Amino acid sequence: MRRLTLGLSVLLIAIGSIAYIATSFASWTALIPALLGVVILIAGLISLKKQKLGVHLALAVAVLGVLGTSMNVLQLGALIAGDAERPTAVLISTITFALLILYVALGIHSFVTARRWKAAEA
């Protein structure tokens, strides 16, 4: 999970930076994925020393990110129909949402596997 956390953070930083450039630096909200990425990167660096704490922090931030991006994801139908008010925001939020959902699912799977492994040892 540590490598996955660090990889996700770099990917989110790249997505946020590209979105900000693609919107001609018009709105700082395009940097939200990058800000999430920086916080997850910090949690990932913490996980290098204290794995459990760092990964739990990163997963908490990811869950908050899922909640925060869900408003724009709900406008995906309007994007497909061509009626979206801010199509770039909807697209970037959807990509961020999907990545964070995948990360949370993998994190939960990792925790369940670790608990089963520990239970089998005892």
Per residue in 59-92, pLDDT tens?
A: 999 999 999 999 999 999 999 999 989 999 999 9
For 92-122, the pLDDT digits (tens) are 999 999 999 999 999 999 999 988 988 887 6
What's 13-45 look like in SS3? HHHHHHHHHHCCCCCHHHHHHHHHHHHHHHHHH
Rounded CA separation 15/17 (Å)? 5
Predicted confidence (pLDDT) per residue in 17-26, tens digit: 999 999 999 8
pLDDT attached to residue 26 = 87
In the prediction, which pLDDT does 120 show?
A: 85
Q: How far apart are CA 103 and CA 29, in angstroms?
A: 22
